[in-house]
Amino acid sequence: MASTLAAAAARRVATLSRLSPPTSSIQAARFVPRRGMAGAGDHHGPPKIDCWKDPMSPSQWKEEHFVIVSLTGWGVLIFGSYKFFTGGKKEEKLVEAPSSH
C-alpha cells in the first residue's frame, strides 16, 4: 500500500512539473507591467501653472487646482442659495417673566 501511495504521489509530481512552465528571468520579465503612454513626464503644450499665479485664466491651471476651485465655487453657490432662500436660521429669544421672591 505504501508503494502505491508513493507511485501515485510521484505521478502527481510528474504531472504538475509538466503542466507548470519553467520560471526564468526572461519569462518573469514578460509579466512586468509597462506604463507605455501613461507617463506623466511627457507634456504637450505649455506647462500648467498654479491657480493663484493667474486666477483669471482657468485654462492654464493645473488640473487638481481647477477641480478644487470648481468644487469650492459650487459649494459656496449652493450653500449661499440655501441660506438666501431659507432666510437663514432665526433665533427665538424667550423673555422670562420676572420672578417674585
Look at residues 49, 70, 71, 72 and name the one whose alpha carbon lies nearest to residue 61: 49
Alpha helices in 1-101 (DSSP H): 2-19, 25-30, 63-86
Whole domain around residue 76: which residue ranges? Answer: 47-86
Beta bridge partners of 49: 61
Tell whether 61 is covered by a domain: yes
Considering the domain boundaries, does residue 79 fall inside one?
yes
Residue among 38, 41, 60 nearest 69 (CA): 60
Reported as a single tens digit per residue, the pLDDT across 74-101 is 999 999 999 999 986 666 677 776 776 6
- Dihedral angle, C-alpha 72, 75, 81, 86, nearest 10 °: -140
pTM for the model: 0.45
Q: How many domains does the chain have?
A: 1
State how far the Cα of 64 lies from the Cα of 48, in Å rounded to an integer. 11
Residue 78 lies inside a defined structural domain of this protein: yes
Q: Is residue 91 part of a domain?
A: no
Q: Is residue 12 part of a domain?
A: no
